[in-house]
Amino acid sequence: MLSLRLAAAALICAAAVRAEMPPVPRPAPDFTIKYVDGNQAQLSSLRGKVVALMFVFTTCIHCQHASQEMSKLYTEYGARGFQPVGVAFNDMANLFVDDFMRNNNVTFKVGFSPVDPVLEFLGISKIERYVVPQICWIDRKGIIRSQTPATGGDEKLRTPSYWREMIETLLKEPAETTRKRSTHTSAKKAQP
Q: Look at residue 2 in the predicted model and tell me its pLDDT.
A: 52
Considering the domain boundaries, does residue 74 fall inside one?
A: yes
Residue 156 lies in a domain: yes
Structural domain includes residue 87: yes
Nearest-angstrom CA–CA distance, 158 and 170: 17
CATH number at residue 48: 3.40.30.10
Mean pLDDT, 10 residues at a time, over the chain (192 residues)?
A: 48 46 90 98 98 98 98 98 98 98 98 98 95 97 96 89 98 73 40 43
Q: Is 179 a domain residue?
A: no
What long-range pairs does 158-163 form, CB within 8 A, spacing at least 24?
Answer: 158/62, 158/66, 158/133, 160/69, 160/72, 160/73, 163/52, 163/69, 163/70, 163/73, 163/135
In a domain, 181, yes or no: no
Give the per-residue pLDDT at 175.
81
Whole-structure pTM value: 0.81
Residue 120 lies in a domain: yes
| Rounded Cα gap, residues 156 and 160, in angstroms | 9
**Residue 87 to residue 85: CA distance in whole angstroms:** 7
187: in domain = no
Q: Is residue 188 part of a domain?
A: no
For residue 126, give its domain range.
Answer: 19-172
Give the chain's domain count: 1
Greatest extent of the chain over all pairs of C-alpha atoms, in Å: 90
